[in-house]
Structure 1
Amino acid sequence: MGLTERVDAALDAGRAPGMHGLVVLRDGQVVLERYGAGPDHRLDEPLGHVVFDRDTLHDLRSVSKSVVGLVYGIALREGLVPEVGAPLLASFPECSPAGREHLTIEHALTMTLGLEWNEDAPYTSAANSEIAMELAPDRHRYVLERPVVEEAGKRWHYCGGASALIGEIITRGAGRPLAEYAADRLFGPLGITRYEWSRGDDGVTRAASGLRLRPVDLAAIGQLVLDGGRDIVPRSWIEETLRPRVVLDAGTRYGYQWYLHDGRAQAIGNGGQRLLIAPDDRLVVAVTAGEYDREQSSAEAALDAVLGR
């Protein structure tokens, strides 16, 4: 059974009921597109029942983090941001909490800050650290002033605040909002003209979760990574980004804002948002879904069908 037959069989059998969009590229060409329908949200804003097609923007949630990681590499080449080994606090001179002088930008890129952070609570609750960050008077101070709970660089701990810090370093270095810089240096060269990137009440781009793209444009970003950056993102940065740096579990590692498993790279977002790069199969797979804050089985079913596993 071929790729298209496998995917259609899975969809017909109802194995991906929450899937909103699926785009598969092989060798840089679209070989499959499928779109669904269902209730959707723009972060916490209900959008009602949406019938999706190629031109419908969709929340990427934490896939945004992986995009921010790529943008950092562009800004680094332009000399706008510090090298990854630079002290993190040097980029935030207005905030110098004691006991964090050892932290580097790389600790943020790899989510190994060693600071207290909990995103296990629903993303509608202030008990969730990312939501608490959004509600704080100064989001970056909120992150940097979290209590130190372990040695930095030793253990991965999921932290949207780390991505917020990376986004702010880009903003300060570029002298303009993260969303504007990303549109100019990443989206524009890829021909991506339609996007949204939400901002907090403080006007700051939500680096950790606020990007909305069409699935076909998300796939284009994945193809860029598979192609080694095509000089939009430096090849050397792509290589560093996808180099395993910290262990998550027996089979999964983490690079710079990307998950790495079995020779594949993946960006993952709440609700079933996925961007999978499979070099050995010459495939890029973008999935969007609406299973926010619950089991995200539709994306996994779609990926299983594409990969024949």
Structure 2
Amino acid sequence: MKRLILLSLLFATAPAAPAGAAPAALDDGWKVADPAATGWHVETLEAMARAIADGQAPETTSVLLVRDGALVYERYFGGSDRDTLQDTRSATKSVTALLVGAAIAQGRIPDTQARLYDLFGDRHWQNPDPAKEATTIEDLLTMSAQWECDDDNVFSAGNEERMYVSADWVQFALDLPARGYAPWTQRPHESPHGRAFAYCTANAFMLGAAVEKASGQRLEDFAAQALERPLGIVHSHWGRASEGTGMGGGGTRYRSRDLAKLGQLILDHGRWQGRQVLPATWVAAMTTIQAQAREDADYGYQLWRLRFPVRGVERGVWAMSGNGGNYVFVLPEERLVAVITRRAYNQRQAHAQSQAVFADYVLKALP
């Protein structure tokens, strides 16, 4: 027994493959490439691994880099490996937006102007209001639905923590009161892009509920049919709400290589290995600025658009983002997808730390 424990410890602490080596070639659809041979600054990649090991981004579990459609870097930390299902929390929201695109392409949902309350016309709801009941799929996609819901405000009626303890999450969202505007806040027509942004998990959750309602399938089954199987994703885990509705707002778990596939799908305009999985027009809409989230960040369809200096020029980087510092970054100009997974949940600096890893190491290691 002692010998087995010792062997386990040895394997657990065995050094990872050097940064200049190509990731393992597996039968999962990924081409692989040697980062040193393709011009990456491997010393910077090694410095990144040391910085993570030294605690600059605590509880990091993986970093993967893809350039020109080839996996060039793959490193796991903290007991994680390539078979680990990473809980990337709100990165799920971007996956749900991809599923909405699939549902529209299949004719299950008419278009982004379909009204949410029309889809749930078999239910009754509290706080009727014309502005609220005019909520469209696009309003949900852009975090601009006109109901009182703000995850960043603990006093908000729609704060996600209130939804999580309710018996019926769909009913919780439909019952929310209409949004009001204090004199010091911008109304939609005064806001950039004509939308008043408020980060609200109920928006993404109801997108998933709408896909379930329109397709007649559980969200996880629709995801498998419309997205995961075409990408060769065979392992995932979807959560469900109290009443059983698929949790489109967060908590879906994927392997890191599969998260990279989702990023590559966005980078390649809905294509994977020559197959058009989603319409290019849908991915174009997802990666168009639709709302201003903060002074330093914009928003597409359930995707963040952050800004980073790349070779001395500020570039817009699309990002799937989740609690704990989880990211899938997509930088079109460099044909780059970067995956950073972490378990630093509810830690204040988690997002800043992950963004620093991306800016200070990944971008500076580019060929």
What is the TM-score of this pair, normalised by structure 1? 0.89
**Mapped partners of 1:92, 1:279: distance in 2:** 38
Correspondences of 1:129-208 after superposition (within 5 Å) = 129-150=159-180, 154-208=195-249
Partner of 2:48: 10
Report how far residue 127 of structure 1 moved. 8.9
CA contact (8 A) 2:157 2:176 kept: no
Residues 1:26 and 2:77 are matched in the alignment: no
Contact 1:130/1:160 (CA < 8 Å) preserved in 2? yes
User: Aligned to 1:223, what secondary structure does the other structure show?
Assistant: helix
Aligned counterpart in structure 1 of residue 101 of structure 2, from 36, 53, 73: 73
Instruction: Give the aligned partner of residue 253 of structure 2.
Output: 212
**Bigger mean CA offset, 153-162 vs 248-257:** 248-257
Deviations 1:26-61 (A, max 9, x none): 011110011110xxxxxxxxxxxxx11111111010
Aligned to 2:312: none
Residue 144 of structure 1, CA deviation: 2.4
Q: 1:91-143 deviations in whole A, cap 9, x for unaligned?
A: 11113441122221111110101322232379xxx998223212212212211
- For the 8 Å contact 1:197–1:212, the answer to whether it is kept is yes
Q: Residue 117 of structure 1 aligns with which residue?
A: 149
Q: Output the CA distance in 1 between the equivalents of 2:196 and 2:278.
A: 28
Q: 1:290 to 1:3 in 2, by over 3 A?
A: farther
SS in 2 for 1:62: helix
Query: Could you report, residue by residue, the CA deviation over 1:73-103 in whole angstroms, capped at 9, with x for unpaired residues?
Result: 0110100113111222101111344112222
Q: Which has the larger Rg?
A: 2
Q: CA RMSD in A?
A: 2.2
The 10-residue stretch of structure 1 (247-256 or 222-231) with the greater mean CA deviation from structure 2: 247-256
Partner of 2:111: 83
Q: Is the 8 A contact 1:87 1:103 kept in 2?
A: yes
**Matches for 1:293-304 after TM superposition, within 5 Å:** 293-294=346-347, 295-296=349-350, 297-304=352-359
Runs of 5+ unmatched residues, structure 2? 1-38, 181-186, 189-193, 307-314
Pick which of 249-258 and 52-61 moved more. 249-258
Q: Which moved more, 1:113-122 or 1:94-103?
A: 113-122
Is residue 58 of structure 1 aligned with residue 86 of structure 2?
Answer: yes
- Structure 1 segments unaligned to the other structure (5+ residues): 38-50
Residue of structure 1 equivalent to 2:317? 264
Assess if the C-alpha contact under 8 Å between 2:112 and 2:137 holds in 1: yes
Distance 1:204 1:70, change over 3 A: same
Structure with larger RCO (C-alpha < 8 A, sep 6+)? 1
SS at match of 2:89: coil
Match for residue 362 of structure 2 among 296, 306, 309: 306
TM-score for both structures, normalised by structure 2? 0.75
Q: Which aligned pairs between 1:250-261 and structure 2 lie closer than 5 A?
A: 250-261=295-306
What amino acid sits opposite 1:106 in the alignment? E
Kindly state the Cα deviation for residue 298 of structure 1 after the two structures are TM-superposed: 3.9
Q: Secondary structure at the match of 2:319?
A: strand
| Cα-to-partner distance string for 1:157-201 (whole Å, 9 max, x where unaligned) | 000000011001100111111111001110101100011111223
Structure 1 runs (4+) deviating above 6 angstroms are none
CA contact (8 A) 2:91 2:321 kept: yes
Confirm or deny: 8 A CA contact 1:19 1:298 kept in the other structure: no
